[in-house]
């Protein structure tokens, strides 16, 4: 857990010591308890998306996330339909230490399409994208990054 907390904090330093990571999904997104936000008197859930460079607050506690959100809102929580599209395109299911990551991150102009995905080592993916997220945030507001893919 501490390794993941530190890894996520590279790209999302504002969360620093306030998160406790508990899971990751096939896209390499990391789910964590946000100790600074309460939902029903329990820590709320935050999802860190390395491909988009966003941290999204999920309006529920960790227990409700497991017992309701993942069951009733599977596609919203885990991008289930996108995963089915990936598999239907002859994409391989990721192994435990892998994820299906973006070749070119969305926050640098990459497309949110199957053709922009590849199997990645999840540790390497987070190491690289965490640094890219951090550096992209240092750019002046309104900076446009034109990157050819």
pLDDT (tens digit per residue) in 11-20: 999 998 999 9
Report pLDDT for 148. 45
Report pLDDT for 53. 94
Higher pLDDT, 141 or 35: 35
Please report, for residues 45, 65, 144, the alpha-carbon distance to residue 40 in angstroms, rounded to integers and kept in the order given: 12, 12, 40
- Whether the pLDDT of residue 44 is over 70: the answer is yes
- Whether the pLDDT of residue 31 is over 50: the answer is yes
Report pLDDT for 137. 86
Report pLDDT for 149. 41
pLDDT (tens digit per residue) in 59-89: 999 999 999 999 999 999 999 999 999 999 9
Q: Are 125 and 30 in contact (CB under 8 A)?
A: no
Q: Are 125 and 42 in contact (CB under 8 A)?
A: no
pLDDT (tens digit per residue) in 90-149: 999 999 999 999 999 998 889 999 999 999 999 999 999 999 999 988 877 766 555 444
SS3 52: coil
Provide mean pLDDT across the span 45-53: 96
Query: Which of 50, 33, 53 lies closest to 126 in space, CA to CA?
Result: 50
């Amino acid at each position: 857990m501490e390794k993941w907390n530190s890894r996520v904090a590279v790209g999302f330093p504002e969360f620093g010591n306030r998160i406790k990571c508990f899971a990751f999904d096939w896209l390499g997104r990391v789910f964590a308890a946000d100790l600074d936000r309460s939902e029903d008197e329990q820590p709320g859930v935050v999802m860190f998306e390395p491909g988009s460079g966003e941290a999204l607050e999920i309006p529920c506690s960790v227990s409700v996330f497991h017992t309701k959100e993942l069951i009733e809102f599977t596609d919203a929580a885990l991008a289930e339909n996108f995963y089915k599209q990936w598999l239907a395109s002859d994409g391989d299911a990721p192994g435990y230490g892998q994820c299906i990551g973006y070749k070119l991150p969305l926050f640098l102009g990459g497309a949110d399409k199957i053709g922009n995905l590849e199997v990645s080592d999840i540790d390497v993916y987070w190491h690289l994208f965490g640094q890219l997220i951090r550096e992209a945030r240092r750019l002046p507001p309104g900076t446009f990054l034109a990157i050819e893919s």
